Amino acid sequence: MTVLGLAQLAAQSAVDTVPCREFDADLWFAEEQASTDRAQALCRQCPLQAACLSEALTRQEPCGVWGGELFERGQIVAAHKPKGRPRKDAEEVAARATARLAQRLAEVQAALEEERPELAEQLSDAVLEIVGAA
Ligand code: SF4
């Protein structure tokens, strides 16, 4: 989302500040998982999280953290793919990360069922894709 887009969202929601404008914006587009984890934690405190996630899903964001989730090539992913030689326990680590992500998305989906049914449906599709791809 553009800075203008975020500003419009903030104006619509009467929100003056959002974490991605208060903190170093590079956190939201970092390649290191630790920085991405920090951005995701900050997003979860953001009053625009649901709207931001909805917009990012609609736009199929190519990269970055949006609405508390990490996007790669338009899809929500559990974590960055590690560089270099795969860890011996890579499959186990990936399965645990995928299960955590699917659980978190299912929780968000349940919380949004009444207020944002269209977003809840999008998240349901994302959960099915993640579980199906695991
Ligand atoms: S949810 Fe995250 S990326 Fe979206 S506006 Fe809030 S802090 Fe920024």
Report the half-sphere exposure of 97 (CA within 13 A, side-chain side). Answer: 18
Q: What is the tally of structural domains in the chain?
A: 1
In the reported structure, the alpha carbon of residue 83 is separated from the centroid of ligand 1 by a whole-number distance in angstroms of: 27
What are the pLDDT digits (tens) for 48-99?
A: 988 898 889 889 999 999 999 999 999 889 888 877 776 677 778 777 777 7
Residues with Cβ within 6 A of ligand 1? 6, 18-20, 28, 42-43, 46, 48-49, 52, 66-68
- Tally of residues, the chain: 134
User: Could you tell me the pLDDT band of residue 26, with boundaries at 50, 70 and 90?
Assistant: very high
Closest CA relative to residue 126, chosen from 65, 79, 78: 78
* Ligand 1 atom 8: residue of nearest CA: 20
Torsion of CA 6, 54, 107, 67, to 10 degrees: -30
Residue 30, pLDDT > 90, answer yes
Q: What is the pLDDT of residue 42?
A: 97
What atom of ligand 1 comes closest to residue 9's alpha carbon?
5
Residue 12, pLDDT > 70, answer no
In the reported structure, the alpha carbon of residue 104 is separated from the centroid of ligand 1 by a whole-number distance in angstroms of: 17
Q: What backbone phi and psi angles, to 5 degrees, belong to 19? A: -55, -40
Cβ count near 70 (within 10 Å): 22
Query: Model's pTM, two decimal places?
Result: 0.67
In the reported structure, the alpha carbon of residue 84 is separated from the centroid of ligand 1 by a whole-number distance in angstroms of: 30
Q: What is the pLDDT of residue 108?
A: 75
- Domain housing 28: 3-133
Q: Which residues contact 96 (CB under 8 A, 6 or more apart)?
A: none
